[in-house]
Amino acid sequence: MPSLVPDFLYGTAWKEERTPDLTELALRMGFRGIDTANQRRHYFEAGVGQGLTAAYRAGLVTRADLFLQTKFTYSPGQDHRLPYDPEASLSLQVAQSLASSLEHLGTDYLDSYVLHGPASNYAWTEADGEVWEAMVKEREAGRTRLLGVSNVSLRHLEQMSEAHGEVPALVQNRCYARFGWDREVRLFCRERAIIYQGFSLLTANAEVFRHRRIAELAAQINASLAQIVFAFARAVGILPLTGTSNAEHMKQDLESLKLALPADAVRAMESLAG
């Protein structure tokens, strides 16, 4: 198994029938971390598995080279194509969903299993507690190495920590510049050595691309605006996801790992939202 989480993850949401080809392409371009979810409404997890199989057959990678991350999604976030019995207990739903994910992805373990958003936007609930405890059992059984949560607030994390006596290994949130790049949650994570994954870094932050200082910096170091955002993310402790379907953009996104932004540029970007 890979000992470390990769520096960049390829996200597979909203790709539908292109999912197998784009997953294989991402691996061919150099990505070694794949993010998906057992939520057919927005993801085609089985298609990710098809792309993995093609990459294995082509000799691009082996399972041991990869970091595979998927998610358990509550029924309100699903459509009619559920990966579990909606009448079953939440604990059983977790077990059924994870078993389905392993089958879809053609593996007997995950590198990371994530709760795809708490049941309530406002608090960590008893339902979340039941799901988390079921996820812990899956980790103890060796079916996942790490556990995480996504789409969470600072309040969720504080209440979760108090309720369970542990924090997740990773947090994945949509990251808005206008909200300080999720500063409060990032600080919570930094203080507890939790990996913070940020998604929609480009699509959620169109205003950043219009900022003169960012354009000047991109020209100064001969980088694309997207590369600047990804390099900034890493500089402030965000592990970025990208979901591009363009091979050249995949290459450019990975090349951003070589960029080191000046400290004043990082400060300027972090303060764009005040």
| 37 contact partners, CB below 8 Å, separation of at least 6 | 13, 43, 45, 70, 71, 73, 114, 116
Question: What pTM was estimated for this model as a whole?
Answer: 0.96
Q: What is the mean pLDDT of residues 244-269?
A: 96
**Which of 148-157, 246-255, 262-271 has the weakest average pLDDT?**
262-271
CA distance 93 to 116: 13
The tokens 């990678």 sit on which residue?
Answer: 61
Confidence of residue 273 (pLDDT cuts 50, 70, 90): low
CA distance 48 to 34: 9
CB atoms closer than 10 angstroms to residue 162? 9
